[in-house]
Structure 1
Amino acid sequence: MGAIERRQLLDIRRIYVEPAAAELPRGREVLDRFPGAELVEIAGHHRIPELYGDEANVARWVRIKTEALVLGVKKSLTARPNGRSADFIAPSTANGCAMACAYCYVPRRKGYSNPITVFANIEQIIGYLRRHAGRQGGKPEPNQVDPDAWVYDLGENSDCSVDATISANVRDLVELFRDLPNAKASFATKYVNRDLLDWDPRGRTRVRFSLMPAADAKLLDIRTSSVGERLAAIDDFVAAGYEVHVNLSPVVVRDGWLDDWAELLGELDDAIGPATRRQLAAEVIFLTLNDRLHEVNLGWHPKAEDLLWRPDLQQAKRSETGGRNVRYRTGHKGRYVAALTALIGDRLPYCRIRYAF
């Protein structure tokens, strides 16, 4: 899919509002941004029967993402240890997404619809993060996440670049981490939002541009910025003061997959200059799918499942939440990972692989 205009991505016509959120300054700002939207009062952002759990919503998947917004208050504030993409997962300032990547795990948690939920209690979240980072002190030793700073992932359940088109929450967080001496922010994105280039992050926010071969992205990365747009933005974000890594995921195994990844790595090498190469690192994540997401996808985008749901290549594993995940078979997956990491080492010798699985 090529470039997508903001007005195509979001055309908010109905906002589901927790009264407590509407009373907060950030909540009022969001409501003022969409003055023509119908307001629907809700008891809680997780309890909206007409959005979550209604199987009929599969047919309206993209329309709901485009037209609905939820405004709530984040009740539980915790920074969970991580160790892969970040040292900690920060409390969410948003949940859900206007984009519609076929492999996204959030829909399997939220049911048959996952429009954006914005949390209005940003000052409370910022205060929590400042105190949490302060308690950590200096990082005692380097790890694969970062050699010096504690890294907090901001967008586990959303895409921060899209969230930034709705509220100032993400900018507030970038400005928070800009001034924390021992911590960095981090988020992965599939949407190029050039407004972020004016935020002066001073190297304290890491943007991880998600990349996959164009043939896969056309089928799986629905309503996102094109891979070409993402590649073209990388040097600009480095010049604007961001640390930029690449998130090579999900890696989908199919006929010709390694050749297409070789082509993508060549395109990445051609797109970036010396400043980006000096700081570039990568995460490599092979596809994991869930049986509940598979059922959802069959209702709105069955062609994607021809690529994602491959029982001949995959094996099942019961997840911690009781679902049935499928991933590439043990033994075979190890060879796939080794082949791709060797290819990265050959084509991008300057790019450190932070982790691959």
Structure 2
Amino acid sequence: MTDAALERERLLAPSRIYVEPAAAELPRGRQVLDRFPGATVVEVDSHWRIPELHGDETNVRRWVRIKREALVLGIKKSLTARPNGRSADFIAPSTSNGCAMACAYCYVPRRKGYSNPITVFANIERITGYLARHIARQGPKPEPNQCDPAAWVYDIGENSDCSVDALVSDNVADLIDLFAGQPAAKASFATKYVNHGLLDLAPRGRTRIRFSLMPEQPAKLLDLRTSPIADRLRALDDFVAAGYEVHVNFSPVVVYDGWLADWTRLLRDLGDATNDVTKAQLAAEVIMLTHNRDLHEVNLGWHPKAEQVLWRPDLQETKRSEGGGVNVRYRAGHKRALLDELLDLIAVHAPYLRVRYAF
């Protein structure tokens, strides 16, 4: 078994692949089916409407098992690049959604309901063609902003983890190849998984990987099925050497007894793990935890220990989301003080680290 196959096997061993017939007819669809020849193929009318995966609350008990044993293959029908302005200038059309990992705070399951295995979109040529045209219409970036001083930044992984997606198909490789030839644009994605296969690609500085980091103690509780924090730290220099722009993503920042001491250790470990070349190009995003009432209820059905630190009515206030959901976040006045404490730690223990934005 190849190294890539071994990496895939740890996270993914699909016994059933739910397939829109049109997706199976495309080259990328056939590639995905060929990578998992032992799986039973189940035809479905829509990748959004699969009763045994979506909307069935009994699936809470099989949360992680479904992520490993189910895969969905569909067609991306609506193609838009949405303006963003925080981490990226634009959110690119998804080439997948869902994830094989099981982070307890992930917002993606809120839309699908009780389960969110990976859905791969097979019409990659249409997606990359749309992106190339969108980039061309922008022209040169007129002025620097917090996303990048010179390039238009496109987040290619809003609803998934591209490092894991790259184990399933070549969609991510195709996106990295597209942006490698775009002098006015960059791809960007956050990841909690170290996929060494990405080191064999040629990003030419036009893909920004944001490795998500949090202290080891909460990561063991909340970042399930992800690469250990130590592995993510060890990977930073390697990805810079391979031609990626590498940033770190302190997200979500979770408050608990002893959290500042744990962040101090992590910041020191970050400095010890990175060479001067990596430090010179490193930047960070800092994002305090936002949680969701519906996800809280889901988590109580499969991972209640996580909710002991994620659901803190004593520290949090409610906020209605744009989609109408009830989110909770640290109380406004208290949140600012907590954030400032962490920013002060960064200034002391990682003075080389530019904070692109924090909220």
| TM bucket normalised to smaller | over 0.9
Q: What whole-Å deviation, never above 9, does each CA across 1:64-116 have from its counterpart, x for those lacking one?
A: 00000000000000000011110000000010000000000001111000000
Name the SS for the 2:189 alignment partner: strand
Of the candidates 164, 167, 178, which is equivalent to residue 166 of structure 2? 164
Contact map agreement 2:8 2:168 (CA 8 A) in 1: no
- Tell whether 2:257 aligns with 1:230: no
Contact map agreement 2:141 2:150 (CA 8 A) in 1: yes
Q: What whole-Å deviation, never above 9, does each CA across 1:293-324 have from its counterpart, x for those lacking one?
A: 00110000000000100000000011111110
Question: 1:247 — aligned with what?
Answer: 249
1:34-45 paired onto structure 2 within 5 Å: 34-45=36-47
Contact map agreement 2:96 2:159 (CA 8 A) in 1: yes
Amino acid of the structure 1 residue aligned with 2:143: E
Question: 1:176 — aligned with what?
Answer: 178
Contact map agreement 2:12 2:69 (CA 8 A) in 1: yes
Of the candidates 46, 49, 70, which is equivalent to residue 47 of structure 1? 49
Question: 1:281 — aligned with what?
Answer: 283
The offset of 1:7, in angstroms, is 1.6
Question: 1:92 — aligned with what?
Answer: 94
The offset of 1:5, in angstroms, is 4.8
Contact map agreement 2:291 2:311 (CA 8 A) in 1: yes
Question: 2:3 — aligned with what?
Answer: none
Question: 2:77 — aligned with what?
Answer: 75
The offset of 1:345, in angstroms, is 1.2
TM-score (norm 1): 0.98
Amino acid of the structure 2 residue aligned with 1:239: A
2:250 and 2:320 map into 1 onto residues whose CA distance is 25
Amino acid of the structure 2 residue aligned with 1:301: H
Q: What whole-Å deviation, never above 9, does each CA across 1:209-243 have from its counterpart, x for those lacking one?
A: 00000000000000000000000000000000000
Name the SS for the 1:165 alignment partner: helix
Question: 2:13 — aligned with what?
Answer: 11
Amino acid of the structure 1 residue aligned with 2:78: S
2:328 and 2:198 map into 1 onto residues whose CA distance is 36
1:3-152 paired onto structure 2 within 5 Å: 5-152=7-154
Amino acid of the structure 2 residue aligned with 1:288: T
1:42 and 1:252 map into 2 onto residues whose CA distance is 39
Name the SS for the 1:201 alignment partner: coil
Contact map agreement 2:7 2:167 (CA 8 A) in 1: no
Unaligned runs of 5+ in 1: none
2:114 and 2:23 map into 1 onto residues whose CA distance is 24
What value does the CA root-mean-square deviation take over the aligned residues? Answer: 0.8
Amino acid of the structure 2 residue aligned with 1:103: Y
The offset of 1:36, in angstroms, is 1.0
The offset of 1:348, in angstroms, is 1.0
1:146-225 paired onto structure 2 within 5 Å: 146-225=148-227
The offset of 1:152, in angstroms, is 0.3
Question: 1:331 — aligned with what?
Answer: 333
Name the SS for the 1:215 alignment partner: helix
2:248 and 2:28 map into 1 onto residues whose CA distance is 31
1:298 and 1:147 map into 2 onto residues whose CA distance is 43
Amino acid of the structure 1 residue aligned with 2:142: P
Amino acid of the structure 2 residue aligned with 1:314: Q
Name the SS for the 2:71 alignment partner: strand
2:10 and 2:132 map into 1 onto residues whose CA distance is 36
2:346 and 2:301 map into 1 onto residues whose CA distance is 36
1:99 and 1:183 map into 2 onto residues whose CA distance is 29
- Tell whether 2:352 aligns with 1:350: yes
1:222 to 1:324, Cα distance in 2 relative to 1, 3 A: same
Unaligned runs of 5+ in 2: 1-5
2:129 and 2:22 map into 1 onto residues whose CA distance is 18
